[in-house]
Amino acid sequence: MADQLSPDEKFGLITRNLQEVLGEEKVKQVLQERALRVYWGTATTGKPHVAYFVPMSKIADFLKAGCEVTILFADLHAYLDNMKAPWELLELRVQYYENIIKAMLESIGVPLDKLKFVKGTDYQLSREYTLDVYRMSSVMTEHDAKKAGAEVVKQVEHPLLSGLLYPGLQALDEEYLKVDAQFGGVDQRKIFTLAEKYLPTLGYSKRAHLMNPMVPGLTGTKMSSSEEESKIDLLDSREDVKKKLKKAFCEPGNVENNGVLSFVKFVLFPLHGGFCIKRDPNWGGDKVYTTYEEVEKDFSDEMIHPGDLKASVEAALNKLMEPIRKKFESPVLRKLTNSAYPDPTKTKAAGKGAKAGGGGTGGGDNDQLVPSRLDLRVGKVISVDKHPDADSLYLEKIDVGEAEPRTVVSGLVAYVSQEDLQDRMVLLLCNLKPQKMRGIESQAMLLCASIEGDPRRVEPLDPPEGSSPGDRVFVAGYETGKPDEKLNPKKKVWEKLQVDLKISDECVAQWKDNHLMTKLGQITCKTLKGGNIS
């Protein structure tokens, strides 16, 4: 097919659905002479999720346009990015990524024999590459390196030198993979412009850069491997897919930050050239769309119900995921998955587990006492009323990113006015067993800072600016654990973990000196230095 396309048609395939192209003329020039050489790299950190179908569908476009495509499994980058992949797991993570990405490509009909797969450490530890890293470090400023990695490398209070090396290494990959263009998300833009600036200083040519838009996750923010509720894992069961899509942000008529619609636009249409909304005959029956613009317009005009959109995407997703699930049913790949991503809540031995967990209670795999067992989320207070049967209690409706707000009963009447609570962002513990308080069931706990011995000083905790309802809150160093579905009240998990929740002298919420965080930054309070959290 590619041989029958004109250079302009190839350019159209290569650039469709991209948000931005840097070096457009260079791409056109190469296409006049030969096949474009492109690489896409992925750091082998958390498990790939369904948003990876977005770059996969673009790789399909590149191949249709006759491009020579290299896929880089960037294992060294995964380690340099704040050790998201521990050194001892690097090789296992690469094997997992290679198997699951090949399974994805096969599920959308991409011929693997047209692709070249490369592991970063196959060439990044060579003498020549290492010397170029030193050469790059001699001309690149700390300011440029830090700025380039701001949206890609994990940002921490005390950055490691490794995070500053990361952007320069990614720039050098373009030369060592001998490509004309690098493809990635628009969040990589600063790294791409850094490559354009610094590669010529080493005597290497400037490459073109092809950028995908960032596709929203299920919570309306970026789909992230570290944010469980924002993503659908490629090995999730049909039941998990249904459950996660049911909770997904998909407000009637709202096409902004809609991860369900974005999946239709960036995956289903490029792969299939159309999309079918399946619905009851009483509501118009099935409708086939030939352009995404028609889908978006009908959804904006509320001609498509969110439930019908979700059900149709669910069916399409399961069709894409089923071959991947089947492939990973093999004992070899199941073992690889468990080895590459060991469950952090499992204890290796009863004695060691209790010690490591700070007092495990025994009786199951999920008995290690770690803060990742807490389902902590950002919430937005929608309404605040006095409890009808208790003057000291508020009755609040709080949005935590679910289909319906949660009812929360809190004893904040003496400390915070209704006006100050209304519409503010708060921190909630969402997996306690619901409890009735004066006849009304409270479905979560609103967390506050307080000073022991001074009952007048209580402040709700503050999520970072720009937070959204449902944003996951984690303790630094415990990002990958999965919260209990419901904390067992008999084992007093919350009570035991709560003892070590404190406010630092900088007013930052901590657990055993590790910061409470969202993807946007730290959880804080306004004034209660050294306080407790409850």
| pLDDT tens column, 28-39 | 999 999 999 999
Q: In this predicted structure, what is the pLDDT of residue 116?
A: 94
Pair 264, 258: CB distance under 8 Å? no
pLDDT band at 217 (very low <50, low <70, confident <90, very high): low
Range 199-206 contact pairs with CB under 8 angstroms and sequence separation of 24 or more = 199/171, 199/172, 199/174, 199/175, 201/139, 202/132, 202/135, 202/136, 202/139, 202/175, 204/174, 204/175, 206/23, 206/26
Q: Express as a percent the part of the chain with pLDDT over 90.
A: 53
68-79 burial: b if 16+ Cβ within 10 Å, else e: bbbbbbbbbbbb
State yes or no: pLDDT of 398 exceeds 60.
yes
State yes or no: pLDDT of 499 exceeds 50.
yes
Q: Which residues pair with 42 in a beta bridge?
A: 73
At 275, list the tokens: 């999309």
**How far apart (Å, rounded) are the C-alpha atoms in residues 393 and 186?**
47
pLDDT band at 353 (very low <50, low <70, confident <90, very high): very low
pTM of structure: 0.62
Q: In this predicted structure, what is the pLDDT of residue 453?
A: 62
Q: What is the mean pLDDT of the chain?
A: 86
Closest CA to 411 of 432, 435, 430: 435
